[in-house]
Amino acid sequence: MGKWTRRSFLASGLVVGGGLVVGVALRPGNRQSKLAPLVTGDGETLVHSWVKLDEDNVVTVIVPHSEMGQGAGTALAQMLADELDADWDLVRFEEAPAISEFANAPLGKGVLLEGVDIPEIVLPTVDGILLRTAKALDLQITGGSMSIRATGQYGMRVAGAAVKEMLRDAAADAWGVPADEVIARKSQLIHEASGRTAPYSEFASAAAEMTPPAKPTLKTPEEFGIIGKHVERHDIPSKVDGTALFALDVRLPGMLYATTRRAPTFGGEVKSIDDSATRAIPGVVDVVELPPTGVKAMLGGFTSPESVAVVAEGFWAAKRGIEALGVEWNESGNEGVSSEAIFEQFDRDIRAGVEREADVAEGDVEAAMASAAQVLEADYRVPYLAHTCMEPLNATARVENGQCEIWVGCQSPLTFRKAVAEALGFEPEQVTLHNCFMGGGFGRKSRADYAIQAALIAAKVGRPVQLIWTREEDVRQDFYRPAVQSRFRAALDDDGNLLAWENTYVDKHEPVEAPLIPYEVAARDIGHVGSPTHVPFGAWRSVDHSQHGFFTESFFDEVAAAAGRDPYAFRAALLKDKPRHLAVLNKAADAADWGSPMAEGRGRGISLQESFGSLVAQVVEVTMIDGQPRVDRIVAAVDAGIAVSPDGLSAQIESGIVYGLTAALYGEITIENGAVVQSNFHDYEALRMAESPKIEVHIIDSGHAIGGAGEPGTPAVAPALANAIYDATGTRVRSLPVNRLDLGSPQERTDQA
């Protein structure tokens, strides 16, 4: 998010210069002697940066990603274990420590070089530079649906194959036989001619001394034995008996608890504090002010605003203390800002078109509009959204003797470590970060503000402190999914052919391709204008796709209706040259029995979205009850290239759909007096079981490049819902959330009965 873009990275010359000839998973020499003490225990040998073997022949994969529910660790371990020909029963994984050697350069490669044609010969160089760059930029990020398609594909598989070759060479040396006669199978090395068999672990030490091969042989998809198979997630047993360790569960001797508050109006600062009532509460230990802290980070710098903390012997006293605190805030100048004013500003700026920048401009849109039989126009908009991870933001810190130890759940451990160090005036090496399971992340836990606060409080009070945000603070001090307005025009000829597509929206972030449509249209002009607001913003599951998926696929449905065409057939007709898109669309439509009759008051909508390298089509069925939709069923088809962990992919799509559906039905952060109105789950609602539809996920293994899983389920659900509501009622949904709309009464069904 923020100002960082792939373009600016490439333009900076970091990728194209230089001359290191080393890979990411394959750095020559061995760093194991340096890394080993950091990641190995008794009886373990670090064979490769990401692979340990122990005396019982157990392989431990060191995963440079955080676990926020997506199950990446299991899928990445599958990828490495498959290439290693390991026995899955002997495979474990653990998260990499937050040190720069585990920066996930493959993510950088995936993010930064996607779509860039690099000659094969320079790839090792590119990898090497990216590792260097990744270290410099603190790239140990979990986000962008990148874990499997980048780290897994470019890192884990290569590392697994390399280690297998090293073990085979070590066995061949020891046995005095040619390496090509040694077979690796289920964590055993076998030389059939001499009848010798030994576990991998026997050669771990010898392999650890070797230089990894420059080009290990990777398997073809037909050879996969673990990739593509259903395996149970390793983290799940600990999540059904209460033993999974979240940052909130950390307990340190002598630990205090704290909670914080910032100015409700963004930009406000402390004018005065009356803490007499707070200090009178039994258990309250201290009241401390925390200065604003700027954070520089690759994916957009930000400021952790000034805040006030109450520190107490227990959280309950801290919470009562903060409620009793008399804080007067300075006026920030934003007191007059409301959601209404923000949308008026968006409307004005789109109309003015000042400094409009085109994402795509091809063909003569104006000429097409002038000659069209019909020109359609519509304005769409979506509100700000909060993340509301189930686990409220928290961090536990101990700062003593020039060292900081911090326990946190975060999506970017290296960025957090550096941010905490800078806030304390330390070097990053003086900070040890323990990353715990995250109780949800969704983009929010890529911002280090809560970790900085915990460290500053611990430093001030001189005792370990667990900072826990109240849910109210979590809702009111988020980095929000931006509100956006988007204006469309489309031109149709007499026969209902789409001649031109014009779109102008505010506030462009990432991914850059989010507003593009896959459909064939001769003239397109898609562009954006700047219209900044004072509301802090950040990445939210699927980022810009979350808005543009709704906008483009809903307006496209309007175009289909104006053309007098069935929305599925109209889409399919304009995807003739895109067989992958078409296959996904067809799969969803077939599985949902598209075109079958529906009763009065019911409706069906379809949508298609490409995001993070994956394609997802959805069909939503609704029944209108008292002017609101009940979502009965959602059928999704997904092509993520190769489904590494099919049930895991399905679970991620299900999850993405519910996250997107929650936002579409209920999600709205409104601004009044420059501050957020909502505060907790009673007024910022989440979908619950009774409203949760039946969801079917159909996976297409197309064999194409592996795509993302965590985010692609989210964008397509809002438009499919909106289109289903139109089908049921004849009313277009052009703004969200749906529960704020007057959708009228069901239309009489004459079209499909």
Using CB under 8 A as the binding rule, the residues of this chain from 347 to 406 that contact other proteins are: 388-392
Q: Judged by CB under 8 A, which of 102, 203, 257, 343 binds other proteins? A: 257
Does 253 bind other proteins (CB under 8 A)? Our answer is no
Nearer CB in complex with other proteins: 461/522: 461
Nearer CB in complex with other proteins: 435/662: 662
Does 71 bind other proteins (CB under 8 A)? Our answer is yes
Nearer CB in complex with other proteins: 170/468: 468
Amino acid at 297: A
Q: Name which of 450, 452, 413 is nearest 433 in CA terms.
A: 413
Nearer CB in complex with other proteins: 416/437: 437
- Whole-angstrom Cα distance, residue 453 to residue 455? 5
Site string for other proteins, 192-231 (x = CB under 8 A): ----------------------------------------
Helices and strands (H, E) in the chain, number of each type: 19, 29
Q: Which stretch binds other proteins (CB under 8 A): 34-42, 45-53, 214-222, 243-251?
A: 243-251
Does 659 bind other proteins (CB under 8 A)? Our answer is yes
Does 491 bind other proteins (CB under 8 A)? Our answer is no
Q: Judged by CB under 8 A, which of 41, 495, 626, 690 binds other proteins? A: 690
Distance of CA 326 to the CA centre of its chain: 38
Torsions phi, psi for 537 (to 5 deg): -130, 160
Does 711 bind other proteins (CB under 8 A)? Our answer is no
* H or E element that contains 419: helix 413-424
- Whole-angstrom Cα distance, residue 338 to residue 671? 5
Q: Judged by CB under 8 A, which of 234, 356, 580, 749 binds other proteins? A: 234
- Whole-angstrom Cα distance, residue 578 to residue 149? 21
Using CB under 8 A as the binding rule, the residues of this chain from 498 to 517 that contact other proteins are: none
Q: Name which of 662, 696, 650 is nearest 546 in CA terms.
A: 662
Q: Judged by CB under 8 A, which of 53, 63, 68, 107 binds other proteins? A: 68
- Whole-angstrom Cα distance, residue 670 to residue 207? 59
Does 7 bind other proteins (CB under 8 A)? Our answer is no
User: Is-contact 340 306, C-beta < 8 A?
Assistant: no
Q: Any bridge partners for residue 607, and if so which?
A: 618
At closest approach, how far in Å is the CB of 658 from other proteins? 2
Does 657 bind other proteins (CB under 8 A)? Our answer is yes
Does 337 bind other proteins (CB under 8 A)? Our answer is no
Amino acid at 674: G
Q: Which stretch binds other proteins (CB under 8 A): 40-48, 132-140, 436-444, 478-486?
A: 436-444
Residue-wise over 17-44: b if at least 16 C-beta within 10 A, else e? eeeeebbbbbbeebebeebbeebbeeeb
Amino acid at 707: G
Site string for other proteins, 625-654 (x = CB under 8 A): ----------------------x---x--x
Using CB under 8 A as the binding rule, the residues of this chain from 81 to 140 that contact other proteins are: 92-93
Residue 302's Cβ-count burial label (10 Å; 0-12, 13-18, 19+) is buried
Does 671 bind other proteins (CB under 8 A)? Our answer is no
Beta strands in 401-521 (DSSP E): 403-408, 431-435, 465-468, 484-492, 498-506
- Give the largest CA-CA distance in the chain: 84
Does 280 bind other proteins (CB under 8 A)? Our answer is no
- Strand 59-63 and strand 91-95: pairing? parallel
Cβ-Cβ contacts under 8 Å for 375 (sequence gap 6 or more): 369, 489, 490, 491, 492
Using CB under 8 A as the binding rule, the residues of this chain from 136 to 175 that contact other proteins are: none
Q: Any bridge partners for residue 52, and if so which?
A: 46, 60
Q: Which residue has the tokens 């673990």?
A: 226
At closest approach, how far in Å is the CB of 710 from other proteins? 10
Cβ atoms within 10 A of the Cβ of 244, count?
A: 16
Q: Any bridge partners for residue 630, and if so which?
A: 623
Question: Is the bond preceding 737 in cis, omega lying within 30 degrees of 0?
Answer: yes
688 token code pair: 């619950």
* H or E element that contains 355: none
User: Is-contact 597 707, C-beta < 8 A?
Assistant: no
Amino acid at 626: D
At closest approach, how far in Å is the CB of 688 from other proteins? 5
Residue 213 DSSP SS3: coil
CA angle 265, 679, 714 (to 5 degrees): 105
Does 694 bind other proteins (CB under 8 A)? Our answer is yes
Does 658 bind other proteins (CB under 8 A)? Our answer is yes
Nearer CB in complex with other proteins: 330/692: 692
Return the C-alpha torsion angle 329, 332, 335, 336, nearest 10: 170
Site string for other proteins, 598-617 (x = CB under 8 A): --------------------
CA angle 292, 508, 523 (to 5 degrees): 175
Q: Judged by CB under 8 A, which of 238, 276, 403, 673 binds other proteins? A: 238
Q: Judged by CB under 8 A, which of 609, 662, 670, 729 binds other proteins? A: 662
Q: Which stretch binds other proteins (CB under 8 A): 122-130, 312-320, 398-406, 615-623?
A: 312-320
Q: Judged by CB under 8 A, which of 27, 164, 262, 319 binds other proteins? A: 319
Cβ atoms within 10 A of the Cβ of 6, count?
A: 16
Residue 540 DSSP SS3: coil
Torsions phi, psi for 660 (to 5 deg): -70, -35
Q: Judged by CB under 8 A, which of 8, 220, 243, 596 binds other proteins? A: 243
Nearer CB in complex with other proteins: 343/659: 659
Nearer CB in complex with other proteins: 295/616: 616
Using CB under 8 A as the binding rule, the residues of this chain from 450 to 479 that contact other proteins are: 468, 470-471
At closest approach, how far in Å is the CB of 17 from other proteins? 41
At closest approach, how far in Å is the CB of 666 from other proteins? 12
Nearer CB in complex with other proteins: 61/161: 61
User: Is-contact 140 64, C-beta < 8 A?
Assistant: yes
Q: Judged by CB under 8 A, which of 459, 687, 738, 741 binds other proteins? A: 687
Return the C-alpha torsion angle 224, 227, 230, 231, nearest 10: 120
* H or E element that contains 60: strand 59-63
Q: Which stretch binds other proteins (CB under 8 A): 68-76, 413-421, 448-456, 457-465?
A: 68-76
Please tell me the count of residues contacting other proteins according to CB under 8 A.
Answer: 65
Q: Judged by CB under 8 A, which of 164, 233, 509, 698 binds other proteins? A: 233
At closest approach, how far in Å is the CB of 574 from other proteins? 31
Residue 157's Cβ-count burial label (10 Å; 0-12, 13-18, 19+) is buried
Nearer CB in complex with other proteins: 394/531: 394
Does 540 bind other proteins (CB under 8 A)? Our answer is no
Q: Which stretch binds other proteins (CB under 8 A): 119-127, 269-277, 611-619, 656-664?
A: 656-664
Q: Judged by CB under 8 A, which of 655, 678, 731, 735 binds other proteins? A: 655
Does 531 bind other proteins (CB under 8 A)? Our answer is no
Does 443 bind other proteins (CB under 8 A)? Our answer is no
- Whole-angstrom Cα distance, residue 319 to residue 324? 9
Q: Judged by CB under 8 A, which of 301, 314, 353, 564 binds other proteins? A: 314
Residue 550 DSSP SS3: helix
Nearer CB in complex with other proteins: 91/431: 91
State the residues that interact with other proteins by CB under 8 A: 67-71, 92-93, 232-244, 246, 248-249, 251, 257, 282, 314-316, 319, 388-392, 437-442, 468, 470-471, 647, 651, 654-659, 661-662, 680-682, 686-690, 692, 694-695
